[in-house]
Structure 1
Amino acid sequence: MIVTLVVAVLALGAGVAANRYLRPRLMADDEGMGVRDLVGPLMTLPRLPLPYRLVTPPPTPGWPPAAARSEAHALDHLAEVADFAPTALRQRLRADAVCYARAVQHEEWPAMAEGKGSPVPSVWSGDFRAGFKELGNNSPLFGLLVNADNQRSLGRQARMAESTPTIPGLIYWFMLVTMAVTVIGLGLCLPRANNRGPLAALIVVTALLTTTLLIIRDVDRPFSGVIIVKATQMAEIEQESTRDFLADYKADQLPCDDRGRPKPGYRR
């Protein structure tokens, strides 16, 4: 975002400087472009998202908020089904649910801002499966737990996929350079005298082109920037699961800290 803004400001400054110092040497007349001539670049705004659409698949039910809700709902369902498991396994699965929710919220979510993941939630998802094996596939709960865990896994995979930018850096830089060249070229073509109107129009064109690029970049990175998907649903499940766990067990029986990281000496 900062790089885009800096390039836009520099391009605008270069355009004004070219109009003042370079235009007299390159062009003898001083008519230049008027405000109506600057409407043309505005027509390029609908075309700027084209590279984004070329590399981005069409919207699906797995877009970030839906994926996060699906994952949180599956985790909540898993914790509820775990209440019917044998005593020892019940505590283990409910504790894993709390730790998983904490790990996603505090460890993995910040990492997704840079398109990365965290290995911490996998510690608890792995323990889910280990607990299912102890339960055995002869138990009527086995299928319910496995299905809930499968939905949680699919939700996490969709969420992680959406955290990876789909626009290659080369394409975005191409759009940015194109915008800068356009602004400089327009500045060069403006008249030097009585040009307040055209200069104001140039500033508006630059602002609109820059805003379009920023929106494209922000939508392509839904876990960072201004348009951001927050861990709201997972935070709610974490609070609910913690409250339910503490109603039956002690806090020191949780195998993780407040961020979902395994406590020292944790072994399964």
Structure 2
Amino acid sequence: MSEWLMLTLAMAAAIAVVVLITVLRHRRPDEEFDPTETPDVIEYMTMMIGVVYAIVLGLAIAGVWEAKGSAEDSVQREAFALHETSERLAEYPAPVREEIRADIAAYVGYAVHEEWPAMQDGEGLSERGDALLDEVRRGLFAYAPETDAENRAAYALGDQIAAAEEARNERALNSGPTMPSLVWFGLIAGGLVAMGMVFALQIQRSARELILAGLHSGLLAFLLFLVWEFDQPYVRDSAGMLEPFTTLFPKAAG
């Protein structure tokens, strides 16, 4: 099921539930029910619940957005460092250069086609990926530079492979979900309470009130979906996250 379809179904379900409950609730009007009066304490509680939940939901969105940005940054730094390593090998002799570039291509191909699907299944990074990147590092340090140009390139290559390893380690640390289960429980429970408080305000069946209640419920569903979408960027946005690899290494990652 596509993510857009899931979002559409979630918003439609939230709107339908609120509208259906409102219609059924007023199908048999209570003679003692006065829709023109709402106790002040209920209005105050509704306002406070809405404000507190909005703050919590905003912090959750900010947290997962920051985590998504950090994940994108680590992938970009890893891909750029490997690409820069491949380019700076131009100063090395052809046999050494081609061998190390082949090792880089092997690592990129494995990371994109084998390791990334495993990350989506919750398995994390593999020892095979570590071994392939270590093979690149060993190839770089196994060659002894013979000219000044090769010496300068060797220093830069050492920095680049270290940057790639650091970015890979960050990717390993951030591969899991950002939001703990307890926070998810609070967000979902708070959303249900926020939707339920609509009925405490004695909403009627007029078109205007039903539209506003539906928009309120749909917005809550959309924001919760937004948190869920950004919670695991390596899993739910794999195409976008892999773009640096597929752009810089079209043959290896294609």
What is residue 247 of structure 1 aligned with on the other side?
none
Deviation at 1:12, TM superposition (A): 5.4
What is residue 181 of structure 1 aligned with on the other side?
193
Residue 144 (structure 1) aligned with residue 156 (structure 2): yes
Residues 28-74 of structure 1 deviation map (CA, whole Å, 9 limit, x = unaligned): 3140689xx7x957654354123555xx49959x7233322222221
Residue 45 (structure 1) aligned with residue 50 (structure 2): no
Q: Which runs of 5+ in 2 are unaligned?
A: none
What is residue 263 of structure 1 aligned with on the other side?
none
SS at match of 1:229: helix
What are the within-5 Å matches in structure 2 for residues 35-184 of structure 1? 40=47, 43=51, 44-51=53-60, 56=63, 59=66, 63-113=70-120, 116-119=123-126, 120-136=128-144, 140=151, 142-184=154-196
What is residue 250 of structure 1 aligned with on the other side?
none
Structure 2 CA distance for partners of 1:160 and 1:5, relative to 1, 3 Å:
farther
Q: Which has the higher contact order (CA 8 A, sep 6+)?
A: 2
Aligned partner letter, 1:131:
G
CA distance, structure 2, for counterparts of residue 102 and residue 31 of structure 1: 65
Residues 102-154 of structure 1 deviation map (CA, whole Å, 9 limit, x = unaligned): 12222233344455534243232021133234325898254333221101112
Q: Which runs of 5+ in 1 are unaligned?
A: 243-257, 261-268
Contact 2:11–2:221 (CA under 8 A) maintained in structure 1: no
Aligned partner letter, 1:211:
F
More helix by share: 2
Contact 1:15–1:187 (CA under 8 A) maintained in structure 2: no
CA distance, structure 1, for counterparts of residue 37 and residue 8 of structure 2: 26
CA distance, structure 2, for counterparts of residue 24 and residue 179 of structure 1: 27
Contact 1:49–1:216 (CA under 8 A) maintained in structure 2: no
SS at match of 2:192: helix
TM-score of the two chains, using structure 1 as the length reference: 0.68
TM-score of the two chains, using structure 2 as the length reference: 0.71
CA distance, structure 2, for counterparts of residue 127 and residue 14 of structure 1: 59
Structure 2 CA distance for partners of 1:57 and 1:17, relative to 1, 3 Å:
closer
CA distance, structure 2, for counterparts of residue 126 and residue 227 of structure 1: 24
Q: Which moved more, 1:9-18 or 1:202-211?
A: 9-18
Residue 17 (structure 1) aligned with residue 26 (structure 2): no
Q: Percent identity?
A: 19
CA distance, structure 1, for counterparts of residue 122 and residue 31 of structure 2: 48
Count the aligned residue pairs. 236
Residues 219-249 of structure 1 deviation map (CA, whole Å, 9 limit, x = unaligned): 332234479733222112222xx5xxxxxxx
Cα RMSD, aligned residues only:
4.1
Q: Which moved more, 1:4-13 or 1:112-121?
A: 4-13
